[in-house]
Amino acid sequence: MGLFFGTDGLRGKVNKDLTQDIAYKIGNALSILKENPTIIIGADTRISNSYLALSLASGAMSGGAYVIDAGVVPTAGVAYLTRRLKADFGVVISASHNSGEYNGIKVFNSNGYKLSDKEEEGIERCFIKSKVNEFPHIGKYVQDFSLIKLYRDFLISCSENSLKGKTIVLDGAFGAAHRVAPEVFRKLGANVVAANCVDNGIKINENCGALYPETLKKRVFRYKADMGFAFDGDADRLIAVDEKGNIIDGDKIICGIAKYLKKLGKLNKNTAVGTSHTNMAIEEDLKNNGIDFIRTDIGDKYVLAKLVEKELSIGGEQSGHVILKDYATTGDGILTAIFVANMIINEKSSMSEVLSVKLYPQTNKNVIVEDKLRIMNSEELIKVITKYNAELDGKGRLMIRASGTEPKIRVMVESKDSEENDRIASAIVDTINKINKV
């Protein structure tokens, strides 16, 4: 990671961490890295999107870029359009699952892949210089909000079955999926119950979507639905709820899809990819079904890098980033939802049966801090982590990491004993808070 970019692009509070000037510099850097590039910009529904998109476009155009603003498009849609239209870069203006005062910038290359850490550092190095073309060689900016139809049609083409007869609840989180997801599922024949599927950048991710699946659970019960799917602000995450009200996270989705693909003979090298956060029960269940499991660092781009390197089919994160490598180049919540619905139909079963895995209890806590690096390198914290790692040895896991996108330290404790998990997590959080006050 560089000074500005984290594990999923650049993110922060608008006009505090993420400014108009930074957006301009990123756009300009793209015109330095590639001569007269074509750049597609898409965004979620945040009210700061036009402010940042136009700043980025101005920086790019000053260096001769041709910028196409596609309007509100999910992250995966921008990756698809970049590939489909043979653009040089795709840019997403979104802070994903964060609340409305945050925003972010993600950059895709011409193949629809998120830039690597090294490539993002290359963008940052361009900040120290600028490229300004003289008239008439400045760039051009156009809007084409109809481009999302290409992505919508692609999603529809990925379904091998009609979803007629299925009642499906969709929670759009007031974000980028608010229109396209209900359209796609209705085109496929489903009876759609659309929740939080309006354009409202103020309320994006607020007590709804992938971070708040309990609200989806209530609607699945209310409408006696066959399944429910919740997306985050830019729709690259998916959390599901089955017909019994069980919440299905990314771990369970990855596990179920991997076993299904193996059954069809379509799981490349009989291997799936997760992260250091993936529940131990998932690895055990896959192993019992003859599937190898590889862990990467947290961050869907690291999962994708491993999928590409090993030529594998499926990988993702507990948070709901699921990458179906044979279909897409990044996590796509809507695509994954379509795949899961088709899997249930083909198996002539229900979501509760197809995606059933008993997970180890996990306690997850986020601690807001002022200086992540100082605390992570603290001898006091290291001593406490060593102590509890020894306690959990052979029966559980402990993971402490600094968030790549927020001023937080994340604490995860996993074992079969939920009370022990809570006790250890609380002790570590207390230590972090103590260090933070010094």
Give the tens place of pLDDT for each residue, 285-311. 999 999 999 999 988 889 999 999 999
pLDDT classification of 7: cutoffs 50, 70, 90? low
Q: Is a pLDDT exceeding 60 seen at residue 2?
A: no
State the average pLDDT over residues 307-328. Answer: 97
Residue 1 has a pLDDT of 46
pTM value is 0.90
Handedness of CA 53, 56, 62, 66 (dihedral sign): negative
Residues 341-354: tens digit of each pLDDT: 999 999 999 999 99
pLDDT of residue 341: 98
> Hey, what are 223's tokens?
């409408």
- Percentage of the residues of the chain whose pLDDT score is greater than 90: 90
Q: Which of 6, 146, 152 is nearest to 74 (CA)?
A: 152
What's the one-letter identity of residue 429?
V
Name the class of domain 362-437.
Answer: alpha beta
The residues facing 91 across adjacent strands are 41, 107
Looking at the chain, the whole-number percentage of residues with pLDDT higher than 70 is 98
10-148 maps to CATH 3.40.120.10: yes
- Tell me the catalytic residues: 96
Give the CATH class of 158-359. alpha beta
Q: What does the pLDDT read at residue 438?
A: 80
CA distance readout (Å), 69 to 39, 73, 159: 8, 10, 28
CATH 3.30.310.50 intervals, the chain: 362-437
Which residues of the chain does CATH 3.40.120.10 include? 10-148, 158-359
Hey, what amino acid is at 331?
G
What are the structure tokens assigned to 292, written together?
Answer: 């190898």
Mean pLDDT of 385-400: 92
Does the CA dihedral 420-426-432-434 come out positive or negative? negative
